[in-house]
């Protein structure tokens, strides 16, 4: 069974219309962010990132939290 078909996803585009990030709501409630700078996860409840120490722009963090809440 391919779970990717059933997970909620959203694509964030930049000002040029290019896909900058793709956010996927995982089964554990975390948001997987895939972008030009690699992949990382955000826990929307604590706003912690994985891997630890990953610097995430505040606007991406807020978008991930808003996305997770909108899927409830």
Question: How many distinct structural domains can be found in the chain?
Answer: 1
- Report the C-alpha gap between 16 and 53 in whole angstroms: 29
- 11: domain range? 3-70
* Chain segment 14-68, per-residue pLDDT in tens: 999 999 999 999 999 999 999 987 899 999 999 999 998 888 989 999 999 999 9
Provide the whole-model pTM.
0.89
- Name 21's Cβ contacts closer than 8 Å, sequence gap at least 6: 11, 12, 33, 34, 35, 60, 63
Strands 31-35 and 9-13 come out as unpaired
- Report the C-alpha gap between 36 and 5 in whole angstroms: 22
């Amino acid at each position: 069974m391919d779970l990717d078909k059933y997970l909620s996803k959203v694509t964030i585009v930049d000002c040029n219309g290019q896909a900058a990030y793709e956010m996927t709501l995982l089964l554990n409630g975390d948001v997987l962010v895939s972008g030009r700078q690699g992949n990382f996860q955000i826990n929307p409840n604590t706003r912690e990132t994985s891997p630890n120490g990953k610097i995430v722009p505040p606007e991406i963090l807020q978008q991930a939290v808003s996305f997770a809440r909108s899927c409830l």
